[in-house]
Chains A and B, each alone.
Chain A
């Protein structure tokens, strides 16, 4: 055992990799639930993640090098404790921030909150890795830089962790159970490392520490600890509400609650079912107003939001079949668990066929046709829900409608005054429907009803006809009565609203890759909760892709100019040095940005097209990291000599190409997640390959500690990339244009590099720089 202590360090590195990816994905998911956030928040979490990892790595600098091994052990031991701590912080964040469960969080609160929650796990993780490198170097190479091997093993661990997590998520374990296993793994690493790394006297002490931690972690798994923590954080989150049960399903988080006789199920933090007294206005309006528009709806498809009254309302109509697609079967199980007569009855109806499947997947694969398709999804405030409101999905639905068939959906409205933001959302949806269907009708109200059809008959139906159908079908309705229909279809009352909504100029249509409705929905809530930010967003709204590019170019030019001024009176070695230095620095910082944007673009596109990003996230990120490792390894072998800068430029050009074609590629590759994985590897490889080249070039241009500098620049770029793209670019421009803006930025940086390469070619060959 004592013979190969270095091998133990590598094993520990693998464990560090496992821990890193699992906790990252786990915390991201928990934070999103706590924020009721949409996927764009992933960018904020990722940016914080980068910063905190770097802080961990930096903090590792302070250990005295003679004690490296002990520091390494300490960091590992701390990481065991930090995992549950971070999870605890994340899940009770609302309580720490002092924001009740009924209120929305603003961007600042999300940034600060996720920073705090991530800090323990993330800092110790960064420190562990750095100490592992140093420990390995001391043991294996007597000081020679061999950190690469630790990196490789960490990456292997990351991949293993991602695969494991993907499997475990399907088991629906509570987050604390997963974390307990994770902590146990890390504690085992402490024990192993203690065997291998420290001398006899200290070993006993560290072994004891490791074993105690291991025991604690393992004991927590089956014991009441996990349950207690889970419950405690749940209580802190809901702050005094009566929680019946909670479950993390494959697709989301489900919480059932009770207030007196009223039971509610919250899905990802938003109410999705209220019994025994549902929001009747919403249910009746959605179901009956739309179905009364159809002369004889025989076959009906309901996409989402069925259990809890919606099915019952639809079933009141005389029809043959009702297909109900619900993405998350766990939601139906939870609804059944409440054992309400209403839910039991509606799910027992013989005409009902429940299809636990993704709505999009179902619609694109079925060959059934329908008279009416009703979307009852919840506002398009996330990519997950928005995928059921896009042009692409509407086109698929259109294929499945019989002649005379119609699509119905609702959006929030107002009977008194539609605010600017809500108006934009409604316009965007109208525009999207209008781009697919030849006939669209809006029925404004507190709930705006949209009806779309390829048949012009839609426009002819008036309140009299609907009232006749109401009688004919003998519907037992409470709210939808003759007078209500008169009110809802009174052109006098509503024409101003209709005119306003159908005036769509300047509003974007909603597509998979340009999820405008998400941005408009967020804007609506932003206007209420953080009007300042909303004002900034609205101002930026006018900017298209080219304006953004202009801004970035300006920043880049300013940076180069600044460098030039800095160097002007300086070093006698002259022009070449700052030229290379400036060009390479720009390349590194923009690559950091591009890497992060590629990563996010892949994640967002995946969510838009497939809709279960939290399962895929671990794999996609791990593959990106593995790609980066492979890229770095490959380029590390060749990162010396005069061609380096040329190679650097070549990688840059490849990155441009990748950014440019990625959106189209992902759109075409929509059918299979494998293509997304391949894209992750490629994106990682290109990003990773640049690093050794850049460090070598910086070194050659006379920079001391070039590696550290390159690392810092890369980090800064990644951080900025995550924030800018998630907060501004993707919401405002969509996925494709975001990638293209960054491609444009990389074009500029490539030009700089090529220029630098050309201008200094002579010097390289003369050997003045090397």
Chain B
């Protein structure tokens, strides 16, 4: 028997047909029987449908471009594209928010988790987070939210501001919080929720990296009751290299919040060998005292790498205690240490008599020694919101 070229071809073709038949039939399990579900929240959305809410604070430029003036980046966005934060899209020369009414994370948490220590201690907050952020922090804890677009992670439907406020009222939670990701990137959503909430007598707070531009910030603060700002470090180098951002706008933000008379607390995440230099911390505390006064609570937070997966070292407790001491020496009245469950400085001390004002372990409040805004031991006037 001899195989010619033609026979070969015949062989190949018939083999291909047989293979195709076998592989195409149901006899053969083709990998996983059902596709891997992509949705990570409730609804997977390929395109986010209209109507979108038009963005505030932007200007139209030539060639259908727009400039967003919401945060320090001032993105110039060509038609059909989005800003740095992934949340604002230019459609035919108008800017729209993609995440308005589309939260990707919604939970009820203790307010201590915010952290917000001198604002209705021991109460709950209704937390809302969306996709997107205008920073790029290397150690972001919520990167699955902040470094993704809403299409990638999905969102909870039925979350217009009106629906949110109704739900919160029904559940009897006193406060709404925009947290987890950067609220700036969901500005209009936050703004509309805050307005509605104020009408309904619900508090609104948010936790931000402090990079919102002054004008939108002032506009928003009219409807807001308290703000937590991350002052992540005190050098431009740290903000540039580790966070992909800038320090100056954050300082500006802190001053404005104070000026507008909205309750403010500051968080400083101490990362070993990055921003733990005592001199840097001293400079930061001096700045706070000079520009914001002594009664803005300051929280030093322990950095913890994701366990077992990175080489990074957690912050030594003595570093945190050193930072606390520096802050107290600088005159800051309320200093706590977070992310070290059970540390005595989880609790807020009275700056006058040194007794415990609010006893905390991690996120739970065990005791509050404040009556009518005064220390029950010595009568010291405690700043904050307690009713």
Interface string of A99-112 (1 = CB under 8 A from B): 01111100000000
CB < 8 Å neighbour of B180 from A416, A542, A560, A579? A416
Determine the chain A residues whose CB is within 8 A of the CB of B256 once the complex forms. Answer: none
Determine the chain A residues whose CB is within 8 A of the CB of B33 once the complex forms. Answer: 505-506
A277 and B23 contacting across the interface, CB-CB below 8 Å = no
Determine the chain B residues whose CB is within 8 A of the CB of A500 once the complex forms. Answer: 40
Interface residues of B in 1-15 (CB under 8 A from A): 1-5, 7-8, 11-12, 15
A417 and B144 contacting across the interface, CB-CB below 8 Å = yes
Which of B52-60, B213-221, B245-253, B301-309 binds A?
A: B301-309
B309 and A102 contacting across the interface, CB-CB below 8 Å = no
Interface residues of A in 66-124 (CB under 8 A from B): 100-104
A755 and B8 contacting across the interface, CB-CB below 8 Å = yes
Determine the chain A residues whose CB is within 8 A of the CB of B127 once the complex forms. Answer: 416
A418 and B144 contacting across the interface, CB-CB below 8 Å = yes
CB < 8 Å neighbour of B38 from A420, A422, A528? A420
Where chain A touches its partner, the secondary structure class is mixed
B313 and A259 contacting across the interface, CB-CB below 8 Å = yes
B62 at the interface (CB under 8 A from A): no
A225 at the interface (CB under 8 A from B): no
- Looking across the interface, which residue of chain A has its beta carbon closest to that of B29? A544
Q: B302: shortest Cβ distance to chain A, in Å?
A: 8
Which of A42-50, A52-60, A173-181, A279-287 binds B?
A: A279-287
Q: B237: shortest Cβ distance to chain A, in Å?
A: 15
Q: B131: shortest Cβ distance to chain A, in Å?
A: 9
Interface string of B294-317 (1 = CB under 8 A from A): 000000000011111111111011
- Looking across the interface, which residue of chain A has its beta carbon closest to that of B1? A758
A262 at the interface (CB under 8 A from B): yes
Interface residue tally on A, bucketed by range? 35 or more
Determine the chain A residues whose CB is within 8 A of the CB of B378 once the complex forms. Answer: none
B107 and A416 contacting across the interface, CB-CB below 8 Å = yes
Determine the chain A residues whose CB is within 8 A of the CB of B129 once the complex forms. Answer: 416-417
A270 at the interface (CB under 8 A from B): yes
B311 and A260 contacting across the interface, CB-CB below 8 Å = no
Given contacts A281-B341, A418-B40, contact A547 B311 (CB under 8 A): no
A484 and B364 contacting across the interface, CB-CB below 8 Å = yes
B40 and A423 contacting across the interface, CB-CB below 8 Å = yes
Q: A529: shortest Cβ distance to chain B, in Å?
A: 10
A683 at the interface (CB under 8 A from B): no
A262 and B29 contacting across the interface, CB-CB below 8 Å = no
Determine the chain A residues whose CB is within 8 A of the CB of B364 once the complex forms. Answer: 481, 483-484, 487
A271 and B5 contacting across the interface, CB-CB below 8 Å = no
Determine the chain B residues whose CB is within 8 A of the CB of A762 once the complex forms. Answer: 2
Interface residues of A in 485-522 (CB under 8 A from B): 487, 492-493, 496, 500, 503, 505-508
Interface string of B82-104 (1 = CB under 8 A from A): 00000000000000000000001
Q: B206: shortest Cβ distance to chain A, in Å?
A: 15
A487 and B110 contacting across the interface, CB-CB below 8 Å = yes
A295 at the interface (CB under 8 A from B): no
> Which of A240, A264, A483, A560 lies at the interface centre, i.e. has the most chain B CB atoms within 10 A of its CB?
A483
Interface residues of A in 257-301 (CB under 8 A from B): 257, 259-262, 264, 266, 269-272, 274, 276-277, 279-282, 284
- Looking across the interface, which residue of chain B has its beta carbon closest to that of A267? B308
Give how many B residues have a beta carbon under 8 Å from the other chain's beta carbons.
Answer: 67
Given contacts A280-B341, A416-B129, A417-B153, contact A259 B316 (CB under 8 A): yes
A279 and B342 contacting across the interface, CB-CB below 8 Å = no
CB < 8 Å neighbour of B31 from A264, A284, A422, A544? A544
CB < 8 Å neighbour of B316 from A241, A277, A484? A277
Determine the chain B residues whose CB is within 8 A of the CB of A185 once the complex forms. Answer: none
B12 and A277 contacting across the interface, CB-CB below 8 Å = no
CB < 8 Å neighbour of A546 from B1, B23, B36, B148? B23
A479 at the interface (CB under 8 A from B): yes
B28 and A271 contacting across the interface, CB-CB below 8 Å = no
A11 at the interface (CB under 8 A from B): no
Determine the chain A residues whose CB is within 8 A of the CB of B362 once the complex forms. Answer: 281, 479, 484
Interface string of B140-157 (1 = CB under 8 A from A): 001111001000010000
A505 and B34 contacting across the interface, CB-CB below 8 Å = yes
- Looking across the interface, which residue of chain A has its beta carbon closest to that of B3? A759
CB < 8 Å neighbour of B317 from A238, A277, A420, A575? A277
A229 at the interface (CB under 8 A from B): no
- Looking across the interface, which residue of chain A has its beta carbon closest to that of B129? A416
B75 at the interface (CB under 8 A from A): no
Given contacts A277-B316, A379-B309, contact A481 B31 (CB under 8 A): no
Determine the chain B residues whose CB is within 8 A of the CB of A259 once the complex forms. Answer: 272, 313, 316
CB < 8 Å neighbour of A101 from B29, B36, B144, B311? B311
B105 at the interface (CB under 8 A from A): yes
B311 and A542 contacting across the interface, CB-CB below 8 Å = no
B372 at the interface (CB under 8 A from A): no
Q: B234: shortest Cβ distance to chain A, in Å?
A: 20
B105 and A417 contacting across the interface, CB-CB below 8 Å = yes
A378 at the interface (CB under 8 A from B): yes
Given contact pairs A36-B311, A271-B307, A420-B40, enumerate 12 new A-B contacts (beta carbons under 8 Å): A264-B313, A269-B311, A277-B316, A279-B314, A416-B127, A419-B148, A420-B38, A478-B342, A479-B362, A496-B42, A507-B32, A557-B12
* 11 contacts across the A-B interface (CB closer than 8 A): A259-B272, A282-B307, A416-B129, A416-B142, A417-B144, A417-B145, A420-B153, A487-B110, A487-B363, A751-B15, A762-B2
